[in-house]
Amino acid sequence: MQVIHVDNSSFFRKVMQHFLSELGVESESFEHGEDVLDIIGTRKVSCVITGLELSDMSGEELIRQLLFSGHSMTIIAVTGSDDDERIKSLELLGVKATIQKGGDWKEKLREYF
């Protein structure tokens, strides 16, 4: 299983990379959504975990572009926000899960791996 993680926080990218490694999941981390879009067709990616605040675009924009790229993958959004309307809109886009960064995010993410 190849997982791509994209987030504007270098700290959270490192934490996520370590966590996925502990689960035995092969992953790559990126800061910019454009970098993910550039490589998505060159790798067999089964899951993209994305933050909603990225350095170069919104997480929603990245999600839209990934979903319309024609590649089949699971998308999980990770956010520090508890905005119910935003979370509902992500579900309508086709996001598999939206996970809060605080609290038990590792346990919730573990359910998917």
Q: For residue range 68-79, what is the model confidence (pLDDT) as tens digits?
A: 888 889 999 998
User: Alpha carbon of 43 to those of 2, 47, 48, 89: distances in Å?
Assistant: 8, 11, 12, 28
CATH class of 2-107: alpha beta
Could you tell me the pLDDT band of residue 1, with boundaries at 50, 70 and 90? low
User: Alpha carbon of 62 to those of 23, 24, 36, 91: distances in Å?
Assistant: 25, 26, 9, 14
Model-wide pTM > 0.85: yes
Q: For residue range 7-66, what is the model confidence (pLDDT) as tens digits?
A: 999 999 999 999 999 999 999 999 999 999 999 888 889 999 999 989 999 999 999 999
Share of the chain above pLDDT 90, in %: 60
User: Alpha carbon of 70 to those of 12, 34, 73, 78: distances in Å?
Assistant: 28, 16, 9, 22
Handedness of CA 93, 108, 74, 63 (dihedral sign): positive
Q: Decide the pairing of beta strands 2-6 and 47-51.
A: parallel
Domain ranges in the chain are 2-107
User: Alpha carbon of 73 to those of 40, 55, 95: distances in Å?
Assistant: 10, 23, 10
